[in-house]
Amino acid sequence: MLDISMATPLSSALGVVIPNFDVHADLSDTDGEKLRSMLARHHLILFPDLSLSSAENRRLLEIFGPVKDEFHDGSYSSLVQNRISPDSDEGEEVIYHCDYSFLPDPVQVVSLYGMHIPGVCATTRFANGVRACRTLPADLRARLGDKWVLHASDVTESHPISSGRLTAADLEKKEFRGTLHPAILTHPRTGDEVLFINEYLSVRVEGLSRVESELLLSAAFAHLYAPNNVYEHHWRQGDLIVFDNIALTHKREKGAPRTLRRMIA
């Protein structure tokens, strides 16, 4: 049986760490339920210092849901590499986002595994949309309460790779895919209320002028990404992070290149 007595909080904002996790152990249905409950409560689980094959990574992630073959190539994984160019020692920043929130059904769970971590490298920040919703000032909650937000991306059949964040003005002249989501979303698995917006893909608040929309989104982002609502992860070789992609948004800071294995469920 899985012993989670050594699990400890990762930060005051979110997350829990489970040290000495035996990835080769046979986990029971009860063990799986413990891990799913942990993810529902803390939104992120860190399993440090693992030597993890792709098959073992997939087996562990399947505890949280069916693993998707994202690129339909049979690999069930992709490599997240932040090097700006092959000869560069600099890694690029990616602002806060929720994977695939421009679709009607965004990814539920994401895992990131530290495959090649060259000492100090680019960090990943996570912001807690559940905590942010719970602590919304009354006036800001009233302004957001019945609003729907367009999440949009230029990732389409003719443009399979994003060229960057869209603005409201871009919607009038560029091809895009988008979905309206409530600003305050009921989490489909936990029932928690989530402040469901993100800097990269949340482009416009429906029913408001462009100026009003930008002002409201800016105020909501300032609350969501306040320091006391954010955990910054400093990667080490063998770190496996499993996180709730609905409850949290995440960003990559600038820093030295590193390679992570990414899987989604």
pLDDT at 137 over 90: yes
First-to-last CA distance in the chain?
24
Percent of the chain residues topping a pLDDT of 90: 86
- pLDDT tens for each residue of 43-95: 999 999 999 999 999 999 999 999 999 999 999 999 998 877 776 677 789 99
Q: CA-CA distance, 139 to 6, in Å (whole number)? A: 41
Output the six-digit token pair for 231: 């955990």
For residues 143-166, average pLDDT: 92
The conformational region for residue 26 under phi > 0 = left, psi -120 to 50 = alpha, else beta, is beta
Which residues 6+ apart lie within 8 Å of 191 measured at CB?
none
pLDDT confidence of residue 218 = 98
Contact 185, 136 (CB under 8 A): no
**E-only strand ranges, the chain:** 8-9, 16-17, 44-47, 78-81, 94-97, 109-116, 124-128, 148-153, 177-182, 184-186, 193-195, 202-205, 230-233, 240-244, 248-252, 259-264
Sequence-distant (≥ 6) Cβ neighbours of residue 146 within 8 angstroms:
none
- Given its phi and psi angles, is residue 200 left (phi above 0), alpha (psi -120 to 50 degrees) or beta? alpha
CA distances, 176 to each of 97, 161, 170, 181, 204 (Å): 17, 12, 9, 16, 13
pLDDT tens-place string over residues 2-40: 777 789 999 999 999 999 999 988 999 999 999 999 999
H or E, element range at 222 = helix 210-224
Cβ atoms of residues 93 and 253 within 8 Å:
yes
The tokens describing 166, both together, are 């869209």
Strand order, beta sheet including 94-97:
94-97, 248-252, 124-128, 230-233
Q: Which pLDDT score is estimated for 92?
A: 87
Does residue 1 carry a pLDDT above 70? no
Note whether 251 and 224 are within 8 A (CB).
Answer: no
CB 48 within 8 A of CB 239: yes
Kindly report, residue by residue over 178-198, the tens digit of the pLDDT. Answer: 999 999 999 999 999 999 999
Q: Per residue in 215-225, pLDDT tens?
A: 999 999 999 99
Q: pLDDT tens digits for 94-135? A: 999 999 999 999 999 999 999 999 989 999 999 999 999 999
C-alpha to C-alpha distance for 17 and 21, rounded to whole angstroms? 10
